[in-house]
Amino acid sequence: MINHLRATATLTNGVQMPWLGIGVFKVEEGPELVQAVKFAIKHGYRSIDTASIYGNEEGVGQAIREALEETRLTREDLFITSKVWNADLGYDSTIAAYETSLQKLGLDYLDLYLIHWPVEGKYKEAWRALETLYKEGKVRAIGVSNFQVHHLTDVMKDAEIVPMINQVEYHPRLTQKELQAFCMEHNIQLEAWSPLMQGQLLDNPVLQEIAASYHKTVAQIIIRWDLQNGVITIPKSTKEHRIVENSSVFDFELTKEDMARIDQLNENHRVGPDPDHIDF
């Protein structure tokens, strides 16, 4: 059972990645961002997920530096993820993008680097670049984001290293069962972005009923459902009380019946772009 905030999943190469982290999608540079990341670290989070396209790597880096100065933690205690954006996909350009992200974050290495979207005709060269970065010891783990089964199959045809992570939109309205089964079969760890469906699930009557029976919030029920499904999750929040609330999910376990009820909410409904039809 995943029963505390420091609990980790073991990736195929043995690297330990926290099951629960904080995401900073759409959080602009500035004091709010720095405070949010510092709150998270103060309250026991160790995993922080950003991306070059978020435009906030410098603020995340500042928060990390300040948090390390103010606590007894070291860089090795944290797990930092970033992603290469579509415009930078390609062998040389991906390596250059990685160096830029490191510079902005003010770090010597990343724990995880992902291809952000499977842009047709570009992601294989980018994957080759990630393999190089990994072999050179510049990043501890590599993976992809928003890859469907056919994208994974395609990249794995020529890959020397199988992606360690696939970070995808995942929530009770989009349970991705087929994709998760494929990932499990190939030892690719699934990770959820937008686990709370950008807040659209918080007034769902089924989830509200389940939440009331556990004396928890709907957000806590969804995060717990993620974890019990073996999915790493990175809910986003900038408010300290929410950051704490989102991590207060280790003192209860959903029954099989309630897990099944939540699974039944699936409608294959996306709030983000469809990976098969991206034009950005």
* pLDDT 10s digits, 58-74: 999 999 999 999 999 99
Q: Which two tokens stand for residue 173?
A: 């309205």
pLDDT for 186 beyond 90:
yes
pLDDT at 1: 72
Residue-range domains of the chain with CATH: 15-263 (3.20.20.100)
Q: Is the pLDDT of residue 272 over 90?
A: yes
pLDDT tens for each residue of 4-54: 999 999 999 999 999 999 999 888 888 999 999 999 999 999 999 999 999
Q: Cβ(143)–Cβ(111) under 8 Å?
A: no
- Predicted confidence at residue 30, as pLDDT, reads 87
Residues annotated as catalytic are 54
